[in-house]
Amino acid sequence: MAIKKLVLDDFCEEEHFSLIGIHCTIEDYRLAFLLNTALDIRLTRKDSDIDNNNSKTTFSIFEWEDHAQFKTWHLVSNTCKIVCNQSHETLDSLFRFNEITTETHHLVSKYKKANFLLKINNGLNSKKEKLILEKILNIDHVITAYSIATDALKSKDQLIFN
């Protein structure tokens, strides 16, 4: 009797997208506005943020669906800072003190220095991607921007926003 083996890769298609890392220190809504004017797109803030790590971390997300070119653009924050309040008690003291610490979490931990990620579904050809990168680099508040090879990412699960 023959044994049949089903491979999950036969049923799931790989999602093709371009990913751009952006380094800047401005707020997310301001970067979205500057990208909208520079790239002639219409990113808007989604109603709910991306919950990661059982709702301990949230990342802001902006989205625009380009129906003319069948592309979806996402601008997502790559960093999330959480303020933790930890109480400490020493053995030789009667007093208890609270220590406030800040923890930084990243959506894509391999690119910790990128403050924001711009994801464009259905990919771009290299010429179009280079043109978009040039326009992003011309924004005054952007320190640097670069293309991220999606094949080098270990896990793409955190970049699925649907």
pLDDT digits (tens), the chain, 162 positions: 678 776 655 555 556 888 999 999 999 999 999 999 999 999 999 988 888 766 678 889 999 999 998 899 999 999 888 877 776 665 566 666 677 788 888 888 888 899 999 999 887 788 898 999 999 999 999 999 999 888 777 777 677 776
Say if 97 falls within a structural domain: no
**Beta bridge mates, 161:** none
Lookup result for tokens 């771009």:
124
Cβ neighbours for 109, distance < 8 A, ≥ 6 positions apart:
none
Residue 106 pLDDT: 83
Domain at 69, CATH number: 3.30.160
Neighbours of 71 (CB within 10 A): 17
Cβ neighbours for 123, distance < 8 A, ≥ 6 positions apart:
16, 17, 18
Residue 49 pLDDT: 84
Say if 113 falls within a structural domain: yes
Helices within the chain (DSSP H only):
28-39, 126-137
State the pTM of this model.
Answer: 0.79
Residue 23 pLDDT: 95
Interatomic CA distance for residues 73 and 42, integer angstroms: 9
Residue 17 pLDDT: 86
Interatomic CA distance for residues 120 and 113, integer angstroms: 20
Say if 95 falls within a structural domain: no
Say if 20 falls within a structural domain: yes
Say if 85 falls within a structural domain: no
Burial of 79 (0-12, 13-18, 19+ CB in 10 A): middle
Say if 162 falls within a structural domain: no
Domain boundaries, position 65: 15-46+55-79+106-153
Say if 92 falls within a structural domain: no
Residue 131 pLDDT: 94
Say if 7 falls within a structural domain: no
Residue 135 pLDDT: 95
Interatomic CA distance for residues 63 and 44, integer angstroms: 5
Please tell me the total count of domains within the chain: 1
Burial of 20 (0-12, 13-18, 19+ CB in 10 A): buried
